[in-house]
Chain A
Amino acid sequence: MGWAPVNHAQTRKPERWLGALAIILALILWEIIAEFIVGDVFYLPSPSDVILAFISLVQSGTLLMDIEVSLLHFAIGIGAALVIGIPIGIAMGWNRRIDAFLDPIIEILRPIPPLAWIPFAIVWFGLTNASAGFVIFIGAVFPVLINTYTGFRSVPRIFVEAGKMLGCTKNRDLIRYIAFPSALPSVAAGIRIATGVGWMCLVAAELFGVSKYGLGQKLWFFYNLHQMDSVVVYMILLGLIGLAFDMLFRYWIDWQFLKWRTGEVA
């Protein structure tokens, strides 16, 4: 489709302007409603309240620390999800007996909401960073595991047979050289879903006082002080950082796979 990029560029620009316009209009509307209709910073802080709160938060200087601590929690959770989810997904996707053996346990554990694990997170890990990481891990591990499994399950047989005929006959080599690269787009999609779910678990994971800093921790802290303008600052930060993660990841996926799976990666 040679015309597609051209058409794309032509329609993309006005769309972007429309999106920016909508944001500006929403901000104005929000300001008017907050200022003149609600008129109470506790029930609905206006954008200008939020900006002022942001400036004072920047001056008081814990914002960077909060982001740092939250990223640490997030990294622990996602890291553990990858280290545990990918090998189990590979084992289950490659070996039918392991699949039959582990599948019931996973199907029972999977529907338990990550937040339901908070009591045990505290009992097992105490009020530590690992405890918050554990809650995020529970949210992130299943998408990683299931997508890795699906990716390995759907490796075309022809690739495995072609590999065998070319001297790649050991299970370990077949997984490394054939199945894993073939399943990688699916694994990557799973990691992307996992980062989204993990990020959503962050606020709850920091709610029970595992650390003195953190985006979620501060959100609850300012809620308890009834400083709702600061709460909004942290809400927006959580949203923007989540969006940045997703965009970075998407960019990475496109760059990694677009060259060989043109048009297949959403």
Chain B
Amino acid sequence: MGELVIQNLTQTFPRDDGTALTAIEHLNLTVSDKEFLCVLGPSGCGKTTLLRMIAGLDTATGGEILLDGERITGPDPRIGIVFQEYSLFPWRNILDNVAFGLEMQGMERDERYRLAEQYLDLVGLTPFAKSYPSELSGGMRQRVAVARALALDPVVLLMDEPFGALDAQTRNMLQHELLGIWEKTKKTIIFITHSVDEAVFMADRIIVLTPRPGRICEVFSIDQPRPRDRTSVEFAKVRRLVLDLINQPKCTLP
């Protein structure tokens, strides 16, 4: 299972001048099991804040987040995350990076390497098991980060603009690969992006956030079958629709 219910979520940060910045305000959202949800919005609209709260890295000022009916109060093994920045441990080789979470669970060496190798194979990086992160390209590093998050077999996978720092070609390739992995492993994925193209290519459903305070401005379901063709007329139509949605005044103005 992997149903995520967000109820009345609010997050405010105190500012130096004594006032408070409301990053997220009364946000309600239900993400169903095995759904691929994209969160779209301009920089500073609270996308990352939202994700960090789901991850349990930050505590909300108000409201709650429930995973399969259970309240999230801190980092949870059922939730995995892939960060935008490169977060692989540079002192561990690739295999040891992927095996890290299993090692923390106290799994035997042979067993965790066997599992880690499977996930490394899933992202196509078996030949690089003994390499160090500094020897890998940006795209390869994010693949490893995906494998590392999946190795713990979470039900929800959070992704914070994971391909944001990559070139367009690599990004397209990784989007394609991620969809393949999602088909195989059937996780609930919450994917943050500012790229309409990326959202339309991958999502079952797109939510658009408003900037400061972050609220849900639009919800948009995409029922086009996958694999979607970025150059097709239907794709262009959906893309334009979403672009029009995010450019509405109510979605762009605070």
Residues of A within 8 A of B (CB): 158-159, 161-169, 173, 177-178, 181-182, 184, 259-262
Across the interface, which residues of B come within 8 angstroms of A260, CB to CB?
90-91, 132-134
Closest Cβ of chain B: how far from A29's Cβ, in Å? Answer: 47
Per-residue contact bits, chain B 96-107, to A (CB 8 Å; 1 contact, 0 not): 000011001100
**A166-B152, A167-B152, A177-B104 given; A158·B91 CB < 8 A:** no
Cβ A173 vs Cβ B104 within 8 A: yes
**Chain B: interface residue total (CB-CB under 8 A):** 27
Closest Cβ of chain A: how far from B34's Cβ, in Å? Answer: 21
Which chain B residues (181-210) contact chain A, with CB distance < 8 Å?
Answer: none
- Inter-chain CA distance A167–B152, complex, in Å, is 9
Across the interface, which residues of B come within 8 angstroms of A159, CB to CB?
87, 89
- Inter-chain CA distance A162–B55, complex, in Å, is 11
- Inter-chain CA distance A165–B158, complex, in Å, is 11
Kindly specify which of B13-21, B76-84, B211-219 makes contact with the partner chain: B76-84
Closest Cβ of chain B: how far from A2's Cβ, in Å? Answer: 14
| Chain A interface SS verdict (over half) | helix
Cβ A165 vs Cβ B132 within 8 A: no
Closest to B145 in A: A162
Closest Cβ of chain A: how far from B133's Cβ, in Å? Answer: 7
B47 is an interface residue with CB less than 8 A from chain A: no
- 8 Å CB contact of A158 from B55, B83, B134, B152: B83
- 8 Å CB contact of B91 from A161, A169, A181: A181
Closest to B77 in A: A167
- Inter-chain CA distance A163–B101, complex, in Å, is 8
Across the interface, which residues of A come within 8 angstroms of B57, CB to CB?
161, 164-165
B74 is an interface residue with CB less than 8 A from chain A: yes
Cβ A182 vs Cβ B87 within 8 A: no
B148 is an interface residue with CB less than 8 A from chain A: yes
B44 is an interface residue with CB less than 8 A from chain A: no
- Inter-chain CA distance A169–B181, complex, in Å, is 28
B85 is an interface residue with CB less than 8 A from chain A: yes
Per-residue contact bits, chain B 103-128, to A (CB 8 Å; 1 contact, 0 not): 01100000000000000000000000
Cβ B75 vs Cβ A261 within 8 A: no
Closest Cβ of chain A: how far from B104's Cβ, in Å? Answer: 4
Cβ A182 vs Cβ B152 within 8 A: no
Cβ A165 vs Cβ B90 within 8 A: no
Across the interface, which residues of B come within 8 angstroms of A262, CB to CB?
134-135
Q: Which A-B residue pairs are the 4 nearest by beta carbons?
A: A166-B101, A167-B104, A162-B87, A181-B91
Closest Cβ of chain B: how far from A49's Cβ, in Å? Answer: 51
Across the interface, which residues of B come within 8 angstroms of A173, CB to CB?
104
Q: Which of B77, B79, B81, B87 has the most CB of A within 10 A?
A: B87
Closest to A259 in B: B132
Closest Cβ of chain B: how far from A181's Cβ, in Å? Answer: 4
Known: A162-B81, A162-B83, A261-B90; 5 extra A-B contacts, CB below 8 A, are: A159-B89, A164-B57, A173-B104, A184-B91, A262-B135
Cβ B101 vs Cβ A167 within 8 A: yes
Across the interface, which residues of A come within 8 angstroms of B83, CB to CB?
158, 161-162
Closest Cβ of chain B: how far from A184's Cβ, in Å? Answer: 7
Across the interface, which residues of A come within 8 angstroms of B152, CB to CB?
166-167
Across the interface, which residues of A come within 8 angstroms of B80, CB to CB?
165
- Inter-chain CA distance A244–B247, complex, in Å, is 67
Closest Cβ of chain A: how far from B238's Cβ, in Å? Answer: 33
Closest Cβ of chain A: how far from B56's Cβ, in Å? Answer: 8
Across the interface, which residues of A come within 8 angstroms of B85, CB to CB?
158
Cross-chain pairs A/B with CB under 8 angstroms, 14 sampled: A158-B83, A162-B81, A162-B89, A165-B81, A166-B104, A166-B152, A168-B104, A169-B75, A173-B104, A181-B91, A259-B132, A260-B91, A260-B132, A262-B134
